[in-house]
Chains A and B, each alone.
Chain A
Amino acid sequence: MGQYIGAAIKRLEDPALITGRAKYTDDLQLPNMAYAAILRSPYAHARIKRIDTSKAAAMEGVIAVFTGEDIAQSGVPGVVPVGWLLPDLKTPPHPLLARDKVRHVGDGVAVVVAEDRYTAYDALEAIEVEYEPLPAVVNPADAVKEGQPLVHEDAPNNIAFDWSIGDKEATDEAFAKASHVVSLDLVNNRLIPNAMEPRATLADYNPVTGELTLWMTSQNPHIHRLLMSLASLGLPEHKIRVIAPAVGGGFGSKIHHYPDEAITAWCAMQVGRPVKWQATRMETYLTDAHGRDHVTHAEMALDENGRILGLRVQTYANLGAYLSTFAPAVPTYLYGTLLSGEYDIPAIYCRVIGVFTHTTPVDAYRGAGRPEATFVVERLMDLAARKLGLDPTEIRRRNFVPPDKFPFQTQVALQYDSGNYEAALQKALEIIDYKNLRQEQERLRQEGRYIGIGFSTYIEACGLAPSAVVGSLGAQAGQWESALVRIHPTGKVTVYSGSSAHGQGHVTTFAQIVADKLGVSLEDIEIIQSDTDQVQYGWGTYGSRSAAVGGSALAVALDRIVEKGRKIAAHLLEAAEEDVVFEDGKYYVKGAPDQAKTLQEVALQAYLAHNLPKGLEPALEAVAFYDPPNFTFPFGTHVAVVEVIPETGEIKILRYVAVDDVGNVINPLIVDGQVHGGIAQGIGQALFESAVYDENGNLVTGSMLDYAVPKAHFLPSFEVDRTVTPCPHNPLGVKGAGETGSIASPAAIVNAIVDALAPFGVEHIDMPVTPEKIWRAIHGNGRS
């Protein structure tokens, strides 16, 4: 590698962003543009008896008002599909606008198109809807019981799927012979993604050409185009162009295909004008797919030495009112498969019941299944350590998969590619000066101060792959990635990548790969993504896949283009191809570097095609469609040190140390930034964030006034470090880096709090661990 890969290059994206010049979807204006606003159900469950749009339609400035009936009559497919199937999965239809029934607060009922956004919202208030309210159910463990209201008639007991993984018999046997069993009942709290940019779309339909252009807040424009075409609009795929301009964060919430963007597009086709829609923040709370929401019972069996014998987990996973795009995969293949953690566990069985409720649909949110799995395993490890009187680091050590056992086949389908778990733990212990910290903890306890140290030694599986395997598990999508590299006659380079960044800095990271591999400077490289008309195909950015899969595709394409250039250079140098080396942007015959042909010269010749080797096609470009052989498996150790004030339950995070191993690092600035952001979201889950529904299905925490997105002063500066165990199976040796923080940190924080409260006999507190919960745990619920 050269000077760029591994260097802390400041981002090429930033000049536009720090000056306000970057254009996000809502920043775009088209001539004659109208605005859409969507009327949303105030009821979690109700029959729609009548909708009268006449008053709204008659308002000045209102162009049109449509209902689900109008969409149905237009003859378009008109639904939002699910993109991951499980055996016996119930897949009730999800129409763009509700027709007979609404199934969660926020379900779309009608849409207004108006000259401006203020008028559009005024008109919503003039639409008359007569609802017959019906009883609702919001808790997944309750929803499966007999006699509960049904979300969909064709899903008895509200069960969408009943899925299991692992060996039940072997696991039961392990428990039968165990010396120790620890168990835990927990709720993994429901989260709202809260990307700072609310979802938006601008739709422009040209009735003459039949072409629809959609600028939208998308993490994966090609997936959105595919689903728009097949399921929602019925327009031919090649007539739809989806562009994701600057996108203000996603964290999963902009993967999914929602009704709202399709409704906006459909409206543009009806009114013959460009139509823009942007969710208000309160709409994002009601409609962005939420994350997590598990009710879990988990047990761990151990021998007398603290070696894990078995793990048994049962989870009710709340799916919300409809199946969101990848919802079935999240609590199954992204959860059950991660339950071995960093440990050699001989028997695991996990059953997950996916449940419909009258709540906002649930889907992938940063980490997606893996934080939930990590939380189960890492909390049980601490409970087991306490029960056996072992230090929490010691019990982990005794169960780590040792470095010489890789590749390691778990009992839950995954094969870990590489790892050195002990090394990351050791490094973290050195950073926090563990021995002294434990002594300090003891000393402070004598003074009546309570600090706690919490560990999370986590594993992550990301960059889902290969496509054939993912497909066999139910994905209705491939998981390869594309890259096209074009070297222009002047030697400048354009890359077209199927990844679609929305804050991750791919332009910089990918340019670094190109600069090193081709020996060109960063200014001479353009990275294009997020436009279905420019990029041949791509599956987008989520699941920490873009460096490992998108970056690998790029590396392969770059190798191909270097090889083609070598043929031309060899011809020009009148040398055998195998004698020509490529270094720092120059081809030369081994031992004769002063007789070099620059890449630029070779490129020019490639285009002029006056003097090419026989049979070689002109031009200089290469494409790669890279389908990885396996996931990548980042891992590491996170340590939280907290202080708890017993009289109020106030919590202070004293230190947060993260030692991650994401394989080779292309840009440490960017990787550290990803880790920081993930930790903050994980701390948010652990301490602050929770989407709470009342029994009628109203979202009680329905705005930023009630739902606490962490603020700067809630968080410490983070101490991040790394070990480097390269991924053995991709050309860059990289693993995913985007989700480690949100996967590892909830368990680290809760373990630290429970450790701090050990003198009070506290064994577990559900997230978010608010001051009141701590106060109650210390003082007992009776006291008031």
Chain B
Amino acid sequence: MYPPRFDYYRAASVQEAVQLLQAHPEAKVLAGGHSLLPMMKLRLAAPPVLVDIGRIEELRGIQDLGDRLRIGALTTHWELERSDILARKCPLIPEAAAQIGDRQVRHRGTIGGNLVHADPGSDLPAVILALDGTLHLAGPNGTRQVAARDFFLDLMTTAVQPGEILTAVEVPVLGERTGTAYLKFEHPASGYAVCGAAAIVTLNADGTVAQARLCFNGITSTPFNAQNVTDALVGHTPDDATIEGVVDQHLHVGDPMGDVFASGAYRVELAKVFAKRALKQARDRAQA
């Protein structure tokens, strides 16, 4: 379909983008456009002004900061998928990025747009939450950081305030004996996650679980951190039976979403199955 009219400003810097947003309080930020433009084409969104941040160089690229990685908000899913740094130091992100949409969408869609849009079926939110990532925002009052656990407030609602833009995401470099996995049950039409499970397992030298994380997309309105499950895993040898038992006993999903394709009850069941699959795969990778 055909988007409604809007005025268009192209920002050359983060500073200019913030100024433009201040000058046009009703404006929306345009990055790759793969969340916003579909909404506008359906006329579900009709911002009078778009501020295009798509050419701001400082928002691009993936930097190795030693114990952390900094991913510019404009980094496309395709760049995430192919990044050597990520493949070595945080393979969970490329594994999830490769499962977003389709190759055309991955070429244009950005990590920043994906996270700010906060669609419950997106693939990156649970991944960034599982990684305990930090989101960097720039606004009229300067910059601030928000932890992923405080970022996703509700269905398509985040901690980004009017006038702010997301500039980067920082995630920790994963340590030794750590394995990760992102597994997804995709909606056959939209390709969104009906259930997406992101798992991180770090083992002690004796093979027991030192730390673990397990977060889900798709089953609740914001990404869901199954901390009960991972708390219960710590200290145990993660054989199949242990993982299965812990998930069955400790995974409790409150208020699951449902639609004509997959009810809430079914999504909860999927979460269990995918939790087990993802934890096992992460464990195998940690052991490798």
Direct contact of A and B (CB under 8 A): yes
What separation, in Å, do the CA atoms of A557 and B59 have in the docked complex?
70
Judge whether B241 is part of the interface by a CB distance below 8 angstroms. no
Inter-chain CA distance A700–B260, complex, in Å, is 8
**Which of B21-29, B66-74, B152-160, B184-192 has 4 or more CB atoms under 8 Å from chain A?**
B184-192
Stretch at the interface among B105-113, B209-217, B268-276: B268-276
Known A648-B273, A775-B269; contact A709-B189, beta-carbon cutoff 8 A:
yes
- Chain B residues closer than 8 Å to A688, beta-carbon distance: 188-189
B132 to A: closest C-beta gap in Å: 29
A689 CB to closest chain B CB (Å) equals 9
* Nearest-Cβ distance from residue A55 to partner chain B, whole angstroms: 15
> How close is A438's CB to chain B, nearest CB, in angstroms?
29
The answer to whether residues A784 and B4 also contact, given A648-B273, A701-B260, A707-B189 and a CB cut-off of 8 A, is no
| Cβ contacts under 8 Å, B273 to chain A | 647-648
Could you tell me if A705 and B189 are in contact, using CB atoms closer than 8 angstroms?
Answer: yes
Interface size for chain B: under 10, 10 to 19, 20 to 34, or 35 or more residues?
A: 20 to 34
Q: Are A121's CB and B268's CB within 8 A? A: no
Least Cβ distance of B139 to chain A in Å? 32
Contact A122 B4 (CB under 8 A): yes
What 1/0 flags go to B102-146 for Cβ under 8 Å of A? 000000000000000000000000000000000000000000000
The residue on B at minimum CB distance from A650 is B185
Whether A772 pairs with B1 at a CB distance below 8 angstroms is: no
Smallest CB separation, A125 vs chain B (Å): 7
Chain A residue nearest to B190 in the complex (CB): A705
Decide yes or no whether A117 CB sits under 8 A from chain B: yes
A residues in contact with B268, CB < 8 Å: 784
A784 contacts B265, C-beta separation under 8 Å? yes
Distance, CA A90 to CA B270, complexed state (A)? 48
Q: How far apart sit A771 and B267, CA to CA, in the bound complex (Å)?
A: 11
Q: Is the CB of A282 within 8 A of B43?
A: no
Minimum CB–CB distance for A330 against chain B, Å: 25
The chain A residue with its CB closest to the CB of B263 is A772
Q: Which residues of B contact A706 (CB under 8 A)?
A: 189-190, 260-261
B98 at interface (Cβ–Cβ under 8 A)? no
Measured CA separation A49–B87 after assembly (Å): 62
Q: Does A762 contact B (CB under 8 A)?
A: no
- Please tell me if the beta carbons of A282 and B260 are within 8 angstroms of each other in the complex: no
A704 CB to closest chain B CB (Å) equals: 6
Query: How far, in whole Å, are A341 and B269 apart by their CA atoms in the complex?
Result: 40
Nearest CB of A to B281, in Å: 16
- Which residue of A has the minimal Cβ distance to B269? A775
Chain A residue, CB-CB nearest to B102: A711
Q: Does B262 belong to the interface (CB within 8 Å)?
A: yes
**Scoring B residues 4 to 21 as 1 if CB is less than 8 Å from chain A, else 0, what string do you get?**
110000000000000000
B187 nearest CB neighbor, chain A only: A708
**A118 near B190: Cβ-Cβ < 8 Å:** no
Contacts of B43 in A (CB 8 A): 125
Size category of the binding interface on chain A: 20 to 34
Q: Does A714 belong to the interface (CB within 8 Å)? A: yes
- Inter-chain contact A117/B2, CB cutoff 8 Å: yes
Bound complex: CA A706 to CA B194 (Å): 12
Does A692 make an interface contact (CB < 8 A)? yes
CA distance A763 to B85 in the complex (A): 52
- Decide: A708 near B185, CB < 8 A? Known: A121-B2, A772-B263, A772-B266: no
Interface string of B59-93 (1 = CB under 8 A from A): 00000000000000000000000000000000000
Considering the chains assembled together, what is the distance between the CA atoms of A783 and B268 in angstroms? 11
Question: Are B188 and A282 within 8 A (Cβ)?
Answer: no
- On chain B, the residues within 8 Å of A775 by CB distance are 266, 269
Residues of B219-247 at the interface with A, using a CB-CB cut-off of 8 Å, are: none
- Residues facing B in A263-318 (CB within 8 A) are 280, 282
Which A residues are in CB contact (< 8 Å) with B261? 706, 770, 772
B4 neighbours in A (Cβ, 8 Å): 122
Within 8 A of B (CB), among A624-659: 647-648, 650
Main secondary structure of the interface of A (DSSP, over half): loop
Q: Give A771 to B265 CA distance when docked, in angstroms.
A: 13
Contact indicator B1/A280 (Cβ below 8 Å): yes
Q: Which B residues are in CB contact (< 8 Å) with A280?
A: 1
- CB-CB nearest in chain B for A710: B188
User: What is the CB-to-nearest-CB distance from B73 to chain A, in angstroms, rounded to a whole number?
Assistant: 25
- Give a binary string over A122-133; 1 marks a CB under 8 Å from any B CB, 0 the rest: 100100000000
Residues of B within 8 A of A648 (CB): 185, 269-270, 273
A711–B190 Cα gap in the complex (Å)? 11
Given contacts A121-B1, A125-B43, A770-B261, contact A708 B266 (CB under 8 A): no
> B1: which A residues are within 8 A, CB to CB?
121, 280, 282
Closest Cβ–Cβ distance, residue B243 to chain A (whole Å):
14
**Chain B contacts for A118, CB-based, 8 A:** 2-3
A691 CB to nearest B CB, Å: 10
| Cα of A650 to Cα of B183 in the assembled complex, Å | 14
Of B189, B260, B262, B270, which contacts A704 at CB under 8 A? B189
Is A708 touching B189 in the complex (CB atoms < 8 A)? yes
Q: Which of B173-188 contact A (CB under 8 A)?
A: 185, 187-188
Q: How far, in angstroms, from A707 to B189 measured CA to CA in the complex? A: 6
* In the complex, chain B residues whose CB is within 8 Å of the CB of A121: 1-2
Q: Taking A692-B260, A775-B269 as contacts, is the C-beta distance between A714 and B188 under 8 angstroms? A: yes
Output the nearest chain A residue to B265 by Cβ-Cβ distance. A784
**Cα distance, A670 to B268, chains bound together (Å):** 46
* List of B residues within 8 angstroms of A711 by Cβ: 188
CA distance A117 to B1 in the complex (A): 9
Q: How far is the CA of A117 from the CA of B185 in the complex (A)?
A: 38
How many angstroms between the C-alpha atoms of A642 and B266 in the bound complex?
A: 22
Q: Report the Cα distance A711→B2, complex, angstroms.
A: 25
Query: Chain B residue with minimal CB distance to A121?
Result: B2
> In chain A, residues 78-121, which have Cβ atoms closer than 8 Å to a Cβ of chain B?
117-118, 121
A650 to B42, CA, bound (A): 32
Q: In whole Å, how far is A780's beta carbon from the nearest beta carbon of chain B?
A: 12
Map CB proximity to B onto A767-778 as digits: 1 under 8 Å, 0 otherwise: 000111001100
Name the residue on A nearest B266 (C-beta): A772
How distant is B276 from chain A, measured CB to nearest CB, in Å? Answer: 9
- Which residues of chain B have C-beta atoms less than 8 A from A771's C-beta? 185, 262, 266
List the B side residues contacting A701 at CB < 8 Å: 189, 260
Chain B residue contacts of A714, Cβ below 8 A:
188
Chain A: minimal CB distance from B4 (Å): 7
CB-nearest residue of chain A relative to B46?
Answer: A125
Bound: A775/B43 CA distance, A: 37
**A121–B4 CA distance with the chains assembled, in angstroms:** 9
Q: Across the two chains, which residue of chain B brings its CB closest to A700?
A: B260
A784 CA to B266 CA, complexed, in Å: 7
- Interface 1/0s, chain A 681-712, versus B by CB < 8 A? 00000001010100000001100111111010
Bound together, the chains give a CA A714 to CA B187 distance in angstroms of 12
Bound-state CA distance A775–B190 (Å) is 21
Chain B residues 28 to 45 lying within 8 A of chain A, measured CB to CB, are 42-43
The CA of A122 and the CA of B263, in the complex, are separated in Å by 36
Min CB–CB distance B69 → chain A (angstroms): 31
Contact string, B250-288, partner A, CB cutoff 8 A, digits 1/0?
Answer: 000000000011110110111001000000000000000
**Binary B-proximity of A577-593 (CB < 8 A = 1, otherwise 0):** 00000000000000000
Q: Considering only CB atoms, which chain A residue lies closest to B276 in the complex?
A: A647
Contact residues in A for B2 (Cβ distance below 8 Å)? 117-118, 121-122
Q: Could you list 14 A-B pairs, sorted by A, with CB under 8 Å?
A: A118-B2, A282-B42, A648-B185, A692-B260, A700-B260, A701-B189, A701-B260, A705-B190, A706-B189, A707-B189, A770-B261, A770-B262, A771-B262, A772-B263
Residue ranges of A at the interface with B (Cβ–Cβ < 8 Å): 117-118, 121-122, 125, 280, 282, 647-648, 650, 688, 690, 692, 700-701, 704-709, 711, 714, 770-772, 775-776, 783-784
Q: Which residues of B contact A (CB under 8 A)?
A: 1-5, 42-43, 185, 187-190, 260-263, 265-266, 268-270, 273
Since A707-B189, A770-B261 are in contact, a sample of 13 more A-B pairs with Cβ atoms closer than 8 Å, ordered by chain A residue number, is A118-B3, A121-B2, A125-B43, A282-B1, A282-B42, A701-B189, A705-B190, A708-B187, A771-B262, A771-B266, A772-B262, A783-B265, A784-B263
| Among all A-B residue pairs, the 7 with the closest Cβ atoms | A784-B265, A708-B188, A708-B189, A772-B266, A705-B190, A118-B2, A121-B2
